[in-house]
Amino acid sequence: MDEGFAIAYQVLERDVPVYAAGGELLGTVDHVVAAPDQDIFHGIVMADGKGRRFVAADQIASLHEHGVDLTIDVAQVASLPEPHGAAPVWHDHEPGAKPSRWKSIAGSFGGRAGRDGWTKEP
């Protein structure tokens, strides 16, 4: 499976699939938990259809455009805690509150990539 390019937590989007160490689909990213002012990535909150679970940064092997890979297996995921407390949330749940970080990065190059408008120069 192609999960796309490796990315930083700052551009991880909601609804990206989350996979166990064995490759099993567990759920999707609900939101990132971070302290961006200090550049601290605490982890993610994952939605799994039954609720939400907090996955600590040290349980995450890698972040990609189209997938988050964990270092733990399916059995260990079942014991993950539900999110609680007031840890800083990087991505808001409110639709339209924050534009996609990818769109702002692409926009900083003065155009839109590929089929969205860029043309090859001669």
Q: Any bridge partners for residue 19, and if so which? A: 25, 69
User: pLDDT tens, 62-116?
Assistant: 999 999 999 999 999 989 988 876 544 555 444 444 445 555 555 555 544 444 4
Q: What's the pTM value of the predicted model, to 2 decimals?
A: 0.69
* Secondary structure string (H, E, C) spanning 27-45: EEEEEEEEEHHHCEEEEEE
How far out from the chain centre does Cα 7 lie? 9
d(CA 1, CA 15): 17
Structural domain boundaries in the chain: 9-110
User: pLDDT tens, 23-70?
Assistant: 999 999 999 999 988 999 999 999 998 899 999 999 999 999 999 999
Instruction: Report residue 89 as tokens.
Output: 């949330």
d(CA 55, CA 47): 11
DSSP letter for each residue of 78-101: TTPPPP-S-PPBSS-SSTTSS--H
Determine the CATH number of domain 9-110.
2.30.30.240
